[in-house]
Structure 1
Amino acid sequence: MAFGRLLVIVSLLLLGATLPAAAAEPASLVLTATAGPADADAPLAVTLTGDDGAPLAGAAVVLERRRDGAWAAVATVVTDTSGRGTAVVRRARDAGDNVFRARYDGDGVHDPARTAPVPSRLVRQPSVVTVGGRDRVVDERAVTLRVRWRTTAGTGVPGPVRLQRRLAGERWETLRTLRTDGRGRATLRVWPRVDSRWRVVAPALDWVRGDRSPVHGVDNLPPGVPVRLPAAAPEPRVDLPRQPRATSPGADPVVTAIPDGVWDDMTGRSWHEGCPVGRSGLRLLRINYWGYDGYRYRGELVAAAGAVDNMARALAAMYAGRYPIRSMVRVDRFGWSERVQGADDHRSMAAGNTSAFNCRWVVNRPGVRSPHSYGRSLDVNTWENPYRSATGLVPNSWWQAHRHPRVAWRSRDHGVVRIMLRHGFRWTYGTGDSQHFDVPSGSGRVVGPAPRACGGHACH
């Protein structure tokens, strides 16, 4: 009898062992995140319920954050009697670092649950970008531009900003991209050679709105003293574009053979068949000079190989003494002139141009070869120092009765005349041709016609 009862018990136990275990119930997990500004608290709320909607209290829920593409736990909350829990995290400035998810690992009665990624959306803060610095700078010197980018609350914004510049008559152009530091600041040294306007454009970032700065102007001032002419003095009749500003220190004279491009420009203008000196006997002089506006420019002229050193030294001494030159462009730039059978010296004088070699006739003396044809004559500041030609004063008559301590001379005591004499020139015709200086040949004779060959007038 006892054996029978034992058999029944064992059979029941074996039967119980083969029955399936009770299935775990599904759980529902919800995560919500609010929108807001960066660097501020972001509440994360979770709700955990069973399949029947009943809250699951006392359950541990892990909150994870994605940074740089990887998930990491940032908090663990325990649900209250309503199945809810809350954690507070700090919003980052990159939208990609403000994505969260929640994970419930289950408890044997309820299955594990996990939410999809949920972003805490960034609300962009307004920002202000500015650029400033000195509003005036002497030419060839640097000015430091200071950029500041911050939120309206005063927080510095690090990030890229575009520095833009506008020159007179031109459009805005982006010069470079700067990066502000953690305090929202950046600096840049610039060397503006003309008046300029500056602004900075800051793009919208994940956490701040973009902005464009007010315009900051920088006026360029001359390093020298501009020439002050009498109010009644006439203006040159021919306008020339500004020559390139000087970039090297001092006068920096450079003498070279005539380059192919320069020779092409000269041929048929300042040089032509029948001239007494050819390409091999000529040199190109490039030299810095002080302009009438107080700025330094790079000028050039062509002269005879045997006279170019005198010209380089004399013009360098004028530079050192800060005696200004109105312009110094090669005379071939004025084109061919039928009147003088060479480059147009009438226009060169009317522009106040300083030049040397020009194979042509004497102005207003057709058929008489000018001393400039030999490349040993130099005309300086022609507008303020007229030439008394066979038919009258050129390029104007007003200046003949006037002088100027820096740019117009009427005696050998003037600083420019003294410089020329000191460097081997002759002021050959005096006030009859104030602008004109000659370098004598090795024998001491002025190369070119003597004054009497021009009918008693200066052979300009």
Structure 2
Amino acid sequence: MRLGRRLAVAVCTLVVASGTAGPALAQDPAPSTLQVHAPPQRADVTVAAEVALAGEDGSPVAGATVLVERRVDGSWGSPVSLVTDADGRASLDVRLARDADDNVLRASYDGDAGHAASATGPVRLRLEKRSTRLRVSGPGRVVDERRVTVEVRWQTLGGLGVSGPVNLFRRDRGGDWRPAARVRTGEQGWAAITVRPRVDTRWKARARPLDWVTGDRSGVHRVDNVPPGDPVRLPDGAPRPRIELPAQPHAKGRGPHAVVTRVPGAVWRQMTGRTWHRGCPVGRASLRLLRINYWDYHGYRRRGELVAHADAVGQLAGALEELHRKHLPLRSLYREDRFGWSDRLHGADDYRSMAAGNSSAFNCRGVVGRPSTLSPHSYGRSFDVNTWENPYRSAQGTVPNEWWMSHSHARVAWRSTTHAVVQVMARHGLRWTYGTGDTQHFDAGGGPARMVSRWSLCGGVVCD
């Protein structure tokens, strides 16, 4: 009886255990792998971006919906829905942009009962760089004081314009290369700057690589600065000055642009001990500084200066203004203190000034060849013009050369009162006092009575 009861309990327990067991647990979806790939290609070309979805064992996941997004200007665009084929693949046509940041895709898969969700993260499609050519061009010459446009053109070898920053470099005649401008080419690959160079210049450009193109360096473009006036043409046999002066600054303003001021402190310090010293018949208060534009022998407009007596500076300015209007040139117009002290003259070195062909006015010194006699230039009312081509017969001989004493020139050397320069001077009260004895010398009217009889004061010798 006890054995039967135990057997019945065992059978009941087995039935309950098998009848009350819950359903089996579902398995987790298998991991999946999502990839985006496209072959390298140049910008502005459409490429097929391929999406591949595979299971854990590498088997393709077919019929799955994959969302693909593209980033443009830093923001993700609306997703595009793709369905994988039997090979677990789908493709999307993408026109590659020139900016690499706009060629970024990402894909996502939400998963299904058998495969877990997956995503790629940002994937940058590779760009093949196009080769480029950078050129600098423009006119090959510019008339001085006028403007010229220097152009930059950056293109692919296929002719597409490249938009981007370009560094432009400039070298002035006799100088080194230096940065000139940073320009940005437009969609057509073109940019330009307008300059007024005033000297011969050379130009070149450099562009660094961009995402879609290589960089390049241009060749050198030359822009010659040509004079606005007619250069002086001297006879082949004419001697050249023994001293060559640097060109003075470019003209300032339009026309002669004459400016008369009292002698500034800095100028007076340069004059003292050269063109002025103790014992001179005039002082700083009686003198004026004239700055004025003139035409030089090369056909360019320069800005020179001279010091003259306050009573005469207006006449000198008027004469120089007319010389400018008539394009009658000067070699240079430096103050004579530039040439230093001369023991022979007891003033600034007029020998050096003449050897350079310089034109000048005030210089408290002795007469050339007769230093014990005070020169008319000591009063600031005398003006020597184009001294190399217009010599002076001194007591010790003709200076600065003898060749020009027997020659004339329609624009720069005169041997009679009919010459254009002599007539201009006369119209402004500047006398050609000594004629062919001192061809360079002119005197303003007025001044001390003792200046009227210079010929007798100098013992019958020209008194420059």
What is the TM-score normalised by the length of structure 2? 0.93
Partners of 1:358 and 1:372 within 8 A in 2: yes
Partner Cα distance (1:177, 1:98) in 2? 28
| Residues 225 and 74 (structure 1), Cα distance of their counterparts in 2 relative to 1, 3 Å cut | farther
Q: 2:178 aligns to what? A: 173
Partner Cα distance (2:235, 2:19) in 1? 128
Q: Matched residue of 2:378: which SS?
A: helix
Q: 2:93 aligns to what? A: 88
Matched, 1:447 2:451: yes
Partners of 1:251 and 1:319 within 8 A in 2: yes
Partner Cα distance (2:233, 2:32) in 1? 92
Letter in 2 for 1:417: V
Matched, 1:124 2:129: yes
The number of residue pairs the alignment matches comes to 450
The range that moved more, 392-401 or 445-454, is: 445-454
Matched, 1:369 2:381: no
Q: Matched residue of 2:393: which SS?
A: strand
Partners of 1:314 and 1:423 within 8 A in 2: yes
Of residues 337, 347, 355 in structure 2, which corresponds to 1:350? 355
Shift of 1:115: 1.2
Alignment of 1:242-261 (within 5 A): 242-261=247-266
In our comparison, the structure showing a higher alpha carbon Rg is 2
Shift of 1:31: 2.0
Letter in 1 for 2:99: D
Matched, 1:216 2:221: yes
Shift of 1:458: 1.1
The range that moved more, 111-120 or 270-279, is: 111-120
Partner Cα distance (2:403, 2:77) in 1? 89
Partner Cα distance (1:290, 1:351) in 2? 16
Shift of 1:215: 1.4
Partner Cα distance (1:374, 1:85) in 2? 100
| Residues 446 and 129 (structure 1), Cα distance of their counterparts in 2 relative to 1, 3 Å cut | farther
Partner Cα distance (1:95, 1:23) in 2? 39
Partner Cα distance (2:19, 2:334) in 1? 118
Unaligned runs of 5+ in 2: 1-16
Of residues 424, 428, 434 in structure 1, which corresponds to 2:433? 428
Alignment of 1:118-157 (within 5 A): 118-157=123-162
Partner Cα distance (1:171, 1:211) in 2? 21
Letter in 2 for 1:458: V
Partner Cα distance (2:18, 2:275) in 1? 128
Of residues 225, 231, 235 in structure 2, which corresponds to 1:230? 235
Of residues 432, 455, 460 in structure 2, which corresponds to 1:456? 460
Of residues 384, 390, 399 in structure 1, which corresponds to 2:395? 390
Partners of 2:365 and 2:371 within 8 A in 1: no
Partner Cα distance (1:45, 1:193) in 2? 60
Partners of 1:62 and 1:73 within 8 A in 2: no
Q: Matched residue of 1:383: which SS?
A: coil
Unaligned runs of 5+ in 1: 1-10
Partner Cα distance (2:19, 2:333) in 1? 119
Alignment of 1:3-22 (within 5 A): 16=22, 20-22=25-27
Shift of 1:141: 1.2
Shift of 1:38: 1.1
Partners of 1:376 and 1:447 within 8 A in 2: no
Partners of 1:99 and 1:118 within 8 A in 2: yes
Shift of 1:400: 0.7
Partner Cα distance (2:174, 2:427) in 1? 45
| Residues 110 and 45 (structure 1), Cα distance of their counterparts in 2 relative to 1, 3 Å cut | same
Partner Cα distance (1:74, 1:277) in 2? 93
Q: Matched residue of 2:235: which SS?
A: coil
Shift of 1:101: 1.9
The range that moved more, 426-435 or 62-71, is: 62-71
Matched, 1:163 2:168: yes
Shift of 1:162: 1.4
- How large is the RMSD of aligned CA atoms in angstroms? 2.0
Identity among equivalent positions (%) equals 56
Q: Matched residue of 1:209: which SS?
A: coil
Shift of 1:439: 0.9
Of residues 219, 241, 244 in structure 2, which corresponds to 1:239? 244
Shift of 1:165: 1.3
Matched, 1:60 2:65: yes
Q: Matched residue of 1:61: which SS?
A: strand
Shift of 1:211: 1.0
Matched, 1:411 2:416: yes
Partner Cα distance (2:412, 2:205) in 1? 44
Partners of 1:195 and 1:219 within 8 A in 2: yes
Letter in 1 for 2:370: R
What is the TM-score normalised by the length of structure 1? 0.94
Q: 1:276 aligns to what? A: 281
Partners of 1:33 and 1:118 within 8 A in 2: no
Partners of 2:381 and 2:447 within 8 A in 1: no
Shift of 1:442: 6.0
Matched, 1:381 2:386: yes
The range that moved more, 37-46 or 67-76, is: 67-76
Shift of 1:29: 1.4
Q: Matched residue of 1:223: which SS?
A: coil
Letter in 2 for 1:69: G
Letter in 2 for 1:380: V
Partners of 1:163 and 1:200 within 8 A in 2: yes
Shift of 1:20: 4.5
Shift of 1:446: 6.8
| Residues 216 and 249 (structure 1), Cα distance of their counterparts in 2 relative to 1, 3 Å cut | same
Question: Which portions of structure 1, spanning 4 or more consecutive aligned residues, are displaced by more than 3 angstroms?
Answer: 11-17, 19-22, 445-449
Q: 1:399 aligns to what? A: 404
The range that moved more, 255-264 or 129-138, is: 129-138
Of residues 304, 311, 318 in structure 1, which corresponds to 2:309? 304
Partner Cα distance (1:201, 1:304) in 2? 56
Q: 2:51 aligns to what? A: 46
Letter in 1 for 2:197: P
Letter in 1 for 2:457: A
